[in-house]
């Protein structure tokens, strides 16, 4: 069982689940006013100082990080509707470290929790999403419009991709796409 040119690919962090909230609560448990995005984390936080880099890594590697991500409930429902009609695959980039297996297990548990056992068999863990066959990729990452791939990008609107042009966008609070 593999994705085909007609499959719908769906990202997890920032698309189905709220990565940012968990990250900010872990990194700044006493200051909830901080609201870094995952791209602030990767692009800025890690480069500012060794102390910030260390605390950032500690936060992401902390126990049950991925299991504690809350669902974007309307997107969860929207993707269930897609599963009922299309061959849907979850495509997610796991962190590469000794913590990888924990991350993989927690992400699988999240998919199983919301979509059941069969859907949990259809997760692809890769940072090379362009290599996965599909008709569409639904994802919040700003770079999905630059990637040369067989699928068309559908950008999940988030503050970190607000300035990126994408022909097809989807709103987390009211998810719908013409033709899907
Ligand atoms: Mg994402």
Domain that holds residue 12: 8-18+69-170
Q: Catalytic site residue 11?
A: yes
If asked whether residues 118 and 80 sit together in one domain, one would say yes
Query: Is the residue at 82 inside a domain?
Result: yes
CA of 158 to the centre of ligand 1 (A): 10
pTM: 0.90
Three-class SS of residue 51? Answer: helix
pLDDT in tens, 73-116: 999 999 999 999 999 999 998 776 667 788 899 999 999 999 99
Report pLDDT for 26. 85
pLDDT in tens, 7-32: 999 999 999 999 988 888 888 777 66
Query: Is the residue at 83 inside a domain?
Result: yes
Q: Catalytic site residue 171?
A: no
Per-residue burial over 163-179, b = 16 or more CB atoms within 10 Å of its CB, e = otherwise:
ebebeeebebeebeeee
**Position 50 confidence tier, pLDDT thresholds 50, 70, 90:** confident
Query: Is the residue at 135 inside a domain?
Result: yes
Hey, how many other C-beta atoms are within 10 angstroms of the C-beta on 59? 19
If asked whether residues 108 and 125 sit together in one domain, one would say yes
Report pLDDT for 32. 61
CA of 32 to the centre of ligand 1 (A): 22
């Amino acid at each position: 069982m593999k994705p085909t040119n007609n499959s719908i690919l769906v990202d997890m962090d920032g698309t189905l689940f709220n990565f940012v909230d968990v990250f900010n609560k872990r990194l700044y448990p006493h200051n909830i006013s901080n609201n870094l995005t995952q791209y602030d984390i990767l692009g800025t936080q890690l480069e500012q100082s060794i102390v910030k880099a260390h605390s950032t890594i500690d936060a992401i590697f902390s126990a049950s990080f991925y299991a504690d991500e809350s669902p974007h409930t309307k997107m969860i429902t929207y993707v269930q509707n897609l599963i009922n009609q299309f061959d849907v695959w979850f495509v997610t980039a796991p962190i590469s470290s000794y913590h990888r297996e924990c991350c993989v297990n927690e992400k699988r548990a999240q998919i199983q929790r919301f979509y059941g056992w069969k859907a949990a068999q259809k997760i692809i863990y890769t940072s090379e999403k362009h290599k996965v066959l599909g008709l569409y990729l639904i994802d919040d990452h700003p770079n999905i419009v630059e990637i040369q791939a067989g699928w068309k990008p559908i950008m999940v609107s988030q503050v970190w991709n607000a300035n990126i042009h994408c022909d097809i966008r989807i709103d987390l609070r009211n998810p719908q796409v013409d033709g899907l």
